[in-house]
Amino acid sequence: MPASRTPIRILAPEAAAPIIMREVSRRRFLSFAALTGGAAFLAACAPGGGSSPAPQATGGALESSLSVYTWGDYDSPEVISSFTADLGPRVTLDSYSSNEELIAKLIAARGTSGYDIVVPTGVFVPQMIENGLLLPLNKDLLPNISNMDPAYLGRAWDPNNEYTICKAWGTTGYTYDKTVITRELTTWADFFDAAQNEASGRTSMSDDPAAIIGSYFWANDMDWNTEDPDELEACRQFLVNEIAPHISAFDSYPGTNAIPQGTQVLAQGWNGDSRLGILESPDPERWQWVLPGPLTELWMDNWAIAEGAPNPEAAHAFINFSMTPENLFLNLDYIGYHVGGKDMETEAIDAGLEYTDIIFFTPEQLDTMREQVLNDSQTTRVEIWNEVKAAAGA
């Protein structure tokens, strides 16, 4: 384990003991500067120069509508319809395909996007807060936060949950067809070996630079947030020259078609989507999900309220409603990702959910997961991603 590795970030507040959809390129990590054309532009767009505005919700009457800007197919329809039936506001859902798309929309709107709730991935939250894109939460209006497991609160990007609360979290691994790859695969090195052999020409990787580039560093037990130019160049050479010629598709959601239809025999993917693909396969026993070692990714999406939200009372009410035990379970069952509630694994097993080992992870597994950090290497990483895609199938 290299001494220079970024300290492990685990699913627990820093003071705690160490216990620890369906849109393309969802977690791409272009920097804010690349997205906006420079930090000066972003600062100019920030309401109040990045200062923290006061919460707009005070516990008054709920507005008649609510607009949610989120990942595709990321909320149980039953939760949404029950919210309207019980509390009144009609919910409109719009989806985006990447954090960059979300951020660009909020920057361009300068507080007039018309959206109330947004769901950014944690690594993007600090810069969104700094640049005035999010409103602080009025936690007096969120009593159901008590139903959340403290392990999924107090993240590094928002230690006191002033702006965000866990919506769902997951990891990256891969699924393989056991009728074609008859040996056991357990690591990222195994993934690359199979891609060059049994699965050559029938391997997909995520349409996502984080997962593609991360897999090289995870396989080699290295810090995937490195800024070392030599390490990044070694990554480039390996992925472009040795792996890309064997890749047949870049697909962030193999659970939609590749796994159910058997069009690939080896598919990198997020755990919830991969689980869905196995469940929808006509022959689920054909497929094996792998949480590969020695390292892999941890990501978390978060409830947040957009600057200028026109319906802040309804926004708080919806987030609070989504954190009841019943609605936490409905969302977990629908999206197939852990949503951060207390004792959810026991509830899922008791309810007979299948493949719960692809939703819930042991402390030992969690200890292998690393969060992404935005840094000055992002431009290089996007260049590598583009080169890999250009060289694929050559």
What's phi and psi for 56, nearest 5 deg? Answer: -90, -20
Each residue of 92-119: pLDDT tens digit?
999 987 888 899 999 999 889 999 999 9
C-alpha of 124 from chain center: 11
What residues contact residue 381 under an 8 Å CB cut-off, 6+ apart?
A: 29, 209, 213, 232
Crossing angle between the packed helical segments 325-335 and 312-322, to the nearest 10 degrees: 80
d(CA 269, CA 205): 7
Residue reference for tokens 């209006």:
141
* Per-residue pLDDT at 382: 87
- The matching CATH number, chosen from 2.60.40.1930, 3.40.50.720, 3.40.190.10, 1.20.1110.10, for 32-53+61-169+299-358 is 3.40.190.10
What is the rounded average pLDDT for all residues in the chain?
87
Lowest mean pLDDT among 177-186, 347-356, 367-376: 367-376
d(CA 329, CA 290): 24
Higher-confidence residue of 17 and 113: namely 113
Residue ranges, comma separated, of all CATH 3.40.190.10 domains in the chain are 32-53+61-169+299-358, 172-297+370-391
* Per-residue pLDDT at 54: 56
d(CA 246, CA 5): 30
- CA dihedral over 315, 316, 317, 318, signed as positive or negative: positive
Are 294 and 231 in contact by the 8 Å Cβ rule? The answer is no
Other beta carbons within 10 Å of 45: 17
d(CA 169, CA 354): 18
Residue reference for tokens 């962030």:
252
Other beta carbons within 10 Å of 53: 14
- Per DSSP bridges, beta strands 65-71 and 117-118 are parallel
Extract the tokens encoding 241: 């020259």
Lowest mean pLDDT among 221-225, 314-318, 375-379: 375-379
CATH code of the domain made up of 172-297+370-391: 3.40.190.10
Extract the tokens encoding 362: 């042991």
Each residue of 219-263: pLDDT tens digit?
999 999 999 999 999 999 999 999 999 999 999 889 999 999 999
